[in-house]
Amino acid sequence: MKFLIHTYGCQMNVRDSEAVEALLIEAGHEKAASEKEAELVIVNSCTVRQKAEEKAIGKAGNLIADGKITGMMGCAVKRLGPELFKKLPRLAFAVAPGELLKIPYIKGGDPLSAHAGTAFQAFVTVMTGCDNCCSYCIVPTVRGHEYSRPADDIVREVECLAERGVKEVTLLGQSVLRYRGFPQLLRRIQEIDGIERIRFTSAHPGGCTDELVAVYRDCPKVCRHLHLPVQSGSDRVLKEMGRRYTRAEYLAAVAKLHAFDPEFSVTTDVIVGYPGETEEDFEQTRMLMDEAGFDNAFIFKYSPRPGTRSAALPDDVTKAEKERRDQVLLADQERRGQARNDRLVGTVREVMVEGPSKRNKARWSGRDGGNRIVVWDCNGSGKDSASPLCPGGLVQVRITEAHPQILIGELI
Ligand code: SAH
Ligand code: SF4
């Protein structure tokens, strides 16, 4: 049967979709080239914000209305349980995260280590679930307790991926720096032939130890980029959120990374409009973001999730005010991104090639170690798979022009 999976939400969902794809192919099914061609469509849902959940359910509803056999997986399934079938009575099946083998048409296998495709990048799960209980977050409810996979399993999986041509692995977990022996795990992966880049996400500032910095120093494959969600710059709000760090501790962690390498790229997540967030709290967040000098930031408007601690608090920042704070932080980040990237003009970046740029096919695009998008003019190259100029290859690009979210350069 020809199937297609639509994925919403975070990298964990992308990873789950890939595992399901691999297991369906193993069971003799075929990936459809388009939705039209698909006989079965699976919607992998997110529930971290209400909007995300609505999108996935809306998509499934449209598919069903079009007469497609439609199933659902992912976090919204877990949150809604049987209620989902009240919203979508003709849904073919609904399978929660961690139960992927219950998807009909899958015969068996190990979802944690199943990989599909021939891409040069792969996600590797190191931890599932989450044992933090940030007041606003539904992830622990839908993804369950924290579980760390044995290091030997992870290393073996990365070795297999390397043999299949994977060049870049991203280790996944809600709080990967809580993995016991994470620095040692990175050192083991550094030794695997064929792997050129190692990334990991997400991180908690508490894990930014000297031991981690030593790994960055010793292991050239470990990319100098860290996604370090801060959520708020106000100590009062951080405490209410249960984040277990202060703004000073957070800033010290970033300062440590920048002291080691001023070009170290730090990105973050911020929530605006948390219950009771005052103008002063918000200003604290603005100031923290400037001080930290983020290379990129994802701003989220607070949305109460049923059953979380903060859902019991009045959602008292108005929609308009959340929108305003969102826009202010986005504009700040535009300026900051420009200033951060301006400093890189004239430098040479090592870039892993991804392919023709989406906006301009005459240009090619890839990412530097800091996860910055780098674009360059490419005169028809890229067809010769032996050249570094094909997806997954490493090239040197001298930066000639900087934008807030993108660097433009010329191939050396
Ligand atoms: N484990 C990661 C975050 C996973 S959720 C960490 O703690 O670093 C991804 C992002 O969604 C969070 O960083 C947060 O910014 C946002 N988010 C989570 N719950 C939210 C909510 N109820 N409303 C708005 N944004 C939320
Ligand atoms: Fe959610 Fe906090 Fe766990 Fe991240 S660390 S998934 S924000 S509970």
Contacts of 70 (CB under 8 A, 6+ apart): 40, 41, 42, 43, 60, 63, 64, 88, 90, 91, 92
Q: Which of 201, 180, 225, 215 is nearest to 123 (CA)?
A: 201
Is there a contact between 227 and 175 (Cβ–Cβ < 8 Å)? no
Atom of ligand 1 nearest to the CA of 138: 19
Tokens 């920042």: give the residue. 317
Atom of ligand 2 nearest to the CA of 231: 7
Task: Return the CATH class of domain 2-107.
Answer: alpha beta
48 lines ligand 1 (CB under 6 A): yes
Contacts of 152 (CB under 8 A, 6+ apart): none
Fold of 121-342: pyruvate-formate lyase- activating enzyme (3.80.30)
Domain boundaries, the chain: 2-107, 121-342, 348-411
Which residue type does 387 have? Answer: S
Q: What is the pLDDT of residue 379?
A: 67
Q: Which residues form ligand 2's pocket by a CB distance below 6 Å? A: 130, 132-134, 137, 139-140, 174-175
pLDDT band at 360 (very low <50, low <70, confident <90, very high): confident
Distance 129 CA to ligand 1 centre (A): 14
Which contiguous run of DSSP H or E holds residue 147?
strand 147-148
d(CA 222, CA 199): 6
pLDDT band at 359 (very low <50, low <70, confident <90, very high): confident
pLDDT band at 35 (very low <50, low <70, confident <90, very high): very high
- Quote the percentage of the chain above a pLDDT of 90: 93
Tokens 């170290």: give the residue. 264
pLDDT band at 387 (very low <50, low <70, confident <90, very high): low
Q: What is the pLDDT of residue 357?
A: 86
The 10s digit of each residue's pLDDT in 142-189 is 999 999 999 999 999 999 999 999 999 999 999 999 999 999 999 999
Distance 227 CA to ligand 2 centre (A): 13
3-state SS, residue 107: coil
The 10s digit of each residue's pLDDT in 241-274 is 999 999 999 999 999 999 999 999 999 999 999 9
d(CA 87, CA 94): 12
Distance 136 CA to ligand 2 centre (A): 9
Pocket test for ligand 2, best of 139, 141, 230 (most atoms within 8 A of CB): 139
The 10s digit of each residue's pLDDT in 315-333 is 999 999 999 999 999 999 9
Pocket test for ligand 1, best of 14, 48, 134, 232 (most atoms within 8 A of CB): 48
Pocket test for ligand 1, best of 175, 269, 301 (most atoms within 8 A of CB): 269
Domain 348-411 has CATH 2.40.50: yes
The mean pLDDT of 288-317, rounded to a whole number, is 98
pLDDT band at 380 (very low <50, low <70, confident <90, very high): low
